[in-house]
Structures are given as C-alpha cells and as structure tokens.
Structure 1
Amino acid sequence: MTRRVAAVDIGTNSTRLLITDGTRRSIVTRLGEGVDATGRLGEAPQQRVLDVLRDYKQLIDGAPAAAVMTSAVRDAANGAEFARRVEETLGFPARVLSGEQEAKLTFVGATAQRDEPEPVLVIDIGGGSTELVIGHKDELLFHASTQIGVVRHSERHLHSDPPSPDELRALRADVRLPEHPRATKAIAVAGTPTQAAAIDLGLEVYDPARVEGHILTVARLHELCARLAELPLEQRKRVRGLDPARAPVIVAGLAILLEVLTSFDLRQVEASEHDILYGLALSTAADAP
C-alpha cells in the first residue's frame, strides 16, 4: 500500500489505529467491561474509547479512513447508539461487523503477504469473541465466530488474584468450539499471541518486526500460562515483554489459545501482527477514490 489511508478497530479490549505511513497505536480501553453480565456498554468504557478516538482523528488528519466495531458492540443492547457516537466523533463511517465479516477481514489481513501452499488456520482471540478461519489463498474453507473472549471469560471465571486452579479449569471447560476441518498450520493474531511472543523473546521494548512470525510451541504456551497464572496481578504487570495494560486478561487469552490448538491437534502457532486492522487498511485503500 503506497497511499496514505487509516483503519480503526474498536474492539472489546482495545482501540487500535493503523495508518499506512507507519503510524500504529493500540490502547486498552476495555469497552466490553461488564457487557457479558449486563448486556449493555457502560458509560465509562464508552467515554474511554471516545477520548482515544478524538486523538486518533487528529493523527488521521483527513486521510481516507474506515472504522469497525466488533463483539462488544454487536452484543450490547445500546451498541447502535454507541456506533452513532463513534461516527460523530471520527467524522467518517464506522461499521459494526458481523462475526462472518470480522472473520473474513482477519483472514485477509493475516494472509495478504503470504503464499501458503496448504490451508492455514487463522486464530483471532478478541475481548468478546474468537474468530477461527481456515483458507487457502483467496478461498475461505471454514469460518466461525465464537462467544469466547479474554474479557468475557476473565469476568466469568477468574475472580481470585492470582486465579485458582479450579477457576482456570472452569475457564478452559467453557471454551466450546464448533466442529471444524483439519488444518496443518496456524497463525494467531491480536494481543494474546503477540504479547506471548514478546514475553518469550524477553523484549524490553515491544518490537513488531521481531514478534512477526515468532513461533510459539504448545509446550512453551503451557509454561507461559502456568507462570503468569501463578502471579498476582501487580507482579504480572512487571513481567518483561508484557504490556501492563494487558496483564488482567493474558491468562485467559493463553488458556483460550491452548484450547484452540488442542482442538485442532496442532503443536505450534505463528504469532502475527497482520490482523483485522491490516485487512481493513487494505480494503480502505482499494475503495478509496
């Protein structure tokens, strides 16, 4: 992409910006806080997102842009009202994606720069939903959007600090996946795998170039999950490589990722920075006059 375009992803856990001039921002805003229990977006989480979007609008500076909203807004009774507030704040269209649309954009983003000879599984673990897509080149062979997410499942199950073994077992038992075809390779996008890669690499400063393509084995993910689950939140925030803002949900994310890989009988996964945000930027560039 040579033209300057912008993409905004308003997720359940974070609000992110990608501009094709190299600008990237990701801020944990926890929009989905409490949605699983109440069915509504809280006013405080909404304001956190809108405050971030005002800053993003200044960075976008009139470039062709698009914004999408995912699980929390899809599920909330007041999601449509919030979507209107988002469009008023940004001054350009903001769509609430269906699970299918979210899965397709994620697959496009994850595979756009690849030429995989075999079908590949793309895993996107979000705050309120997890998207699973299997495809080969431009052909989607399977996709599912599940009600599994790091915010949703942390709020449901992880009430102790640190979480108890019984809570972790209950969380993993609640990761119910649909029947699916086989895949021989997996790419995982979004905060859980990229943060796990940063921890595994021992990064003092997050480096997307080093995270991109980093391989995480199931054995290593088990080690990371067990280590982080043993730490109280304040100690977890100080783990090298982990963004402190993601410390409250990283244990749930790793548990979910492990359940997905087990279900697909895979022994490793590749972390990738190229996710739904990249797919949205590609779509925006293609549609721009």
Structure 2
Amino acid sequence: MADMNPPDFDRRAGKTGEERSGKVADYRYKRPPQPEDKAIAGGAIRSRGPGLLPRRAAHPRRQRQAYAALDLGTNNCRLLIARPSGENFTVIDAFSRVVRLGEGLAASGKLSDAAMERTMAALQVCADKLRRRNVHLARSVATEACRRATNGPAFIERVRQETGIALDIISAQEEARLAVLGCHILLEQGHGPAIIFDIGGGSTELVLIEPGDGPVPHIVDWQSVPWGVVSLTDTVTRRGEGSEARADRYARMRKTVDDAFAEFGERIASFAKHEDIRLLGTSGTVTTLASLYLELPQYDRRAVDGLIVPSAAMRDISTRLSTMSMDERGTLPCIGQDRAELVVAGCAILESILDLWPADQLGVADRGIREGILRSLMAADFAAEMTREAVRRTRDESLAK
C-alpha cells in the first residue's frame, strides 16, 4: 500500500478538480505549532497522499500519536480514534449513536430543538473521548442535514462553543470522495468499472470509478441526491395501513429515487454494459441486509465487513421487508425498533441502485467516511513530517560545513 495521489475527477465528466473543505484540525485538539510548521499551521494540510499509508516506516513519535475522525450525519453521530500501524491504522476508541439530527427537516427546513439536544449530548461524549485520548489531529465533518438546514451554521457554531469541536459542513462531492477513500479496498478484484455508493440519512452518494495507475481507483463521475433513509421516510408519507398501503408507499419511494438517479443513470449507461462491473455499498442499509442474508442473531462487523452477496438475494430481502409491518420488521434480528421504520427507505434506494447498475454481486463495507478521513489525516501528517525532516537535514548539513 504505497503513498498515492488523491482520486480526482475525470475531465471527460466535466470535473476539473476536487471541492476540498478547509478545516482539518479541530483547534482544541491539535498540538501547538512548531517552528517548521508555519506553512501548515491553522489551515488545511496539503496532502501528497490521502489514500492508504506509505510503505516506509513511520516516525516513532508519529506511531504513538492518535488521530480522530468524527462524522455527524442526518441519522448518526460516529467517532473513530486510531493510531498508525504499519501501512494501516489501529482503532483505539470509537463511538456511535443514533441522534436523528435530520428528523422533521424535510417538512420544516430546520433542525429541531429536540434533534439538536440529542446531538449535543452525543457530541459531548465525543469531546470527552478526544480530550482523554490526547488526539494529535482530528477532522470533524457534518453532512446533508447541516447542509440543508437553515439553522445549520448556527448549530455548528453552538457545537464549537459548547464542546470545542469545529465541525466542517462538507460538500456532497467531498463526502463521496471520503467514502471512496475509506472503503475502496473492499472492492472485488477486476478490471471493469465499479460503483461505490453510500446510503446516508439525508442523502445518497454514488461514485463511478475505474482502476487507476496505483492502488487508489480513478473517479470518473459521481452523483449525490437528497434522498437518504431519513429524508425519504419523512417525505414519502403513509396513505393508510395494510399491505396495499405499504406497497403503494414503497412504489412511490422507488419512483422518487429513480427520478433523482435518472440523469446519472444516462451518463453511466455505457459503463454499465461492461461485462466486469462491480458494486460496493457502505451504509447501515447494506450492512443490515447483509446481516439478514447471513441470518445473524446479532450484528457482527467481522462477518459483514468485506462480505460479497448475490445482488438478487439483497433485492429479495428488500422486497420482503417492504411488505412487512413496522412491528414485524422490529422483531427481526439486526433491525430492531430503531431501524424498523427507516430500513424500508434504504431498501427502496438500494433497489434503484441495482436497477441502474446491474452487477451480479454486491460488496458490503462497514467502513466509509471516517476511515477516509483518518487515512487523509495520517498521510498528510506523514508528508508534513517528511518535509520537516528534510528541512532539518538541510539545516544541519549547512551548519556542519
């Protein structure tokens, strides 16, 4: 896993570069700037390689340092703290809580007081973990709920004042890029194009990739739609009870998502005809359905992360779940009451993706944005460390003459 350049967008798709957001280090958790750090202190660290970590051994001091990634989504608040370990990293702490930040957002356009209070409680836990772990560099991002809410910026400022966490509202493009960085290594082997998708709470990102010159795939095209499990559930409401009403609602969900994906589907149609297409999904939807496919009595990340499942089986499970009542879904292992309502919207989104990208197999990833952030931070810090060491060597050689 060598040092590598970031995946970029193909000019054929009309993209000329990345939309990088500026804040990398949460101000309260980064170490004081050193004399050689002036070029990078206080702003975004420019990385030679935000993919996997370089092959060469890291500096001993760096191996002891902790890095953190916080992802505040529409439905979940997730934190990952890790240390470099050879070419990868070792997780030393983690946190995940369903906060439903985007609850009611589709109707009101604002984050509700109750949703913000739930989220603040989770972020206080994250802030405590960051302080206890003495995190060297952290990046905290917020996605669709804060992008859409009219009071999103005010909430971000409240979080900064009360917890010290500087959340960065990232673009949908940056969200897609980080998801690819975090999970692309789980793609099936092959030479054909692939779609990596992330079904979130407030949006879904699809990224078309092709094998690149190095280990990081080449991003050809991408699409983000404002339909995730929360936003789709809140928007496509029930029209009664019973099997017919459930079928009608599911059909309306499917049409809503199909319409949103239509333009992207046209752009990638020629790629979808390749005989070696591959598909990889990262989200609670695909990991939950994979758990049902394995008939797990309770969720087991080790069994799910990296699993390859027949796409037809995932479609069958989606269809079956859509016909069940919420109480029936709530009794199923790995779903429970927390996911019983939202999983149907996830199934509708997944089936739409399977329609536009008919791969025989679906890869399942229990990793994504946070892992992408960690790899970016560690690779950028490694590059900065190498620069500082080069400066010191040059200075020492000059003094020795």
The two structures have a TM-score, normalised by structure 1, of 0.92
Question: 2:221 and 2:336 mapped to 1: Cα distance?
Answer: 32
- CA displacement 1:34-74 (0-9 Å, x = unmatched): 11111111111111111011112222223122110101110
Gap regions ≥5 residues in structure 2: 1-52, 54-62, 83-90, 386-401
1:15 to 74, 77, 80: 77
Larger deviation: 202-211 or 30-39? Answer: 202-211
**8 Å Cα contact 1:120-1:186 kept in structure 2:** yes
Residue 169 of structure 1, aligned match among 247, 251, 256: 251
**In the alignment, is residue 97 of structure 1 matched against residue 159 of structure 2?**
no
Q: Which amino acid aligns with 1:274?
A: R
Q: Distance in 1 between matches of 2:241 and 2:326?
A: 7
2:323 and 2:354 map into 1 onto residues whose CA distance is 22
Q: Deviation at 1:117?
A: 3.7
Look up the match of 2:67.
5
SS at match of 1:127: coil
Q: Relative to structure 1, is the Cα distance of residues 283 and 172 closer, same or farther in structure 2, using a 3 angstrom cutoff?
A: same
- Are 1:53 and 1:89, in contact at CA under 8 Å, matched by a contact in 2? no
Structure 1 CA distance, aligned partners of 2:350 and 2:232? 12
Q: Distance in 1 between matches of 2:241 and 2:359?
A: 31
Q: Which 4+ stretches in 1 moved above 6 angstroms?
A: none
For 1:193, the equivalent position in structure 2 comes to: 286
Q: Which runs of 5+ in 1 are unaligned?
A: none
| Contact 2:228/2:346, CA 8 A, preserved across alignment | yes
Q: 1:103 to 1:286 in 2, by over 3 A?
A: same
Q: 2:120, 2:184 → 1: CA distance? A: 31
Contact 2:247 2:323 survives alignment (8 Å):
no
Provide the residue aligned with 1:42 in structure 2.
112
Per the TM alignment, residue 112 of structure 1 is displaced from its structure 2 partner at its CA by 4.7
In structure 2, do the counterparts of structure 1 residues 216 and 90 end up closer, same or farther at CA, with 3 Å as the change threshold?
farther
Please show how residues 252-271 of structure 1 align to structure 2 within 5 Å: 252-271=345-364
The structure-2 alpha-carbon separation of the partners of 1:269 and 1:5, relative to structure 1 and needing over 3 Å to count, comes to: same
Shift of 1:243: 4.7
Whether the 8 Å CA contact 1:73–1:79 is kept in 2: the answer is: yes
Aligned residue in 2 for 1:118? 192
Give CA-to-partner distance per residue, 1:105-136, whole Å, 9 cap, x none: 11111115667643321110111111011223
Shift of 1:164: 1.4
Q: CA deviation at 1:157?
A: 1.6
The answer as to whether partners of 1:198 and 1:242 remain within 8 angstroms in 2 is no
Deviation at 1:81, TM superposition (A): 0.7
- What residue is the counterpart of 2:154 in the other structure? 81
Among 139, 142, 150, the alignment partner of 2:221 is 142
Following superposition, the deviation at residue 228 of structure 1 comes to 2.0
Q: 1:243 to 1:286 in 2, by over 3 A?
A: farther
Counterpart amino acid of 2:363?
Answer: E
Q: Which moved more, 1:149-158 or 1:226-235?
A: 226-235
Aligned to 1:67: 140
* Whole-angstrom distance in 1 between the partners of 2:321 and 2:163: 37
CA distance in 2, matches of 1:168, 1:26: 29
- What's the offset of the Cα at 1:234? 2.7
User: Given the superposition, is the C-alpha separation of residues 278 and 243 from structure 1 closer, same or farther in structure 2, using an over 3 Å criterion?
Assistant: farther
> Distance between the aligned counterparts of 2:174 and 2:236, measured in 1?
28
How many residues end up aligned between the 2 structures?
289
1:33 equivalent in alignment to 2:103:
yes
Name the SS of the counterpart of 1:164 in structure 2.
helix
- Rounded Cα–Cα distance in structure 1 between residues aligned with 2:313 and 2:95: 28
Q: Deviations over 1:186-245 (max 9, x none)?
A: 100011101111121122232111101222333222321232223322332220122532
TM-score normalised by L of structure 2: 0.67
SS of corresponding position for 1:144? strand
Deviation string for 1:236-288 (max 9, x for gaps)?
A: 22201225322211111011111011112223311101211110121222344
- 2:342 equivalent among 249, 256, 261: 249
Q: Secondary structure at the match of 1:142?
A: strand
1:158, 1:168 within 8 Å by CA — same for their partners in 2?
no
Question: Within 2, Cα distance between the matches of 1:119 and 1:85?
Answer: 43
Residues of 1 paired with 2:311 and 2:104: CA distance? 31
Contact 1:153 1:252 in 2 (8 A): yes
In structure 2, the partner of 1:51 is 121
SS in 1 for 2:129: helix
Pair 1:234-2:327 in alignment: yes
Matched to 2:373, the amino acid is: L
Q: Secondary structure at the match of 1:240?
A: coil
1:91 positional shift: 1.7
Structure 1 vs Structure 2 CA RMSD: 2.1
**Alignment correspondent of 2:394:** none
Q: Which structure has the larger Rg?
A: 2
* 2:293–2:314 contact (8 Å) kept in structure 1: no
The alpha-carbon distance between structure 1 residues 4 and 119, as it changes in their structure 2 partners (threshold 3 A), is farther
SS state of the match for residue 257, structure 1? helix
1:206 corresponds to: 299
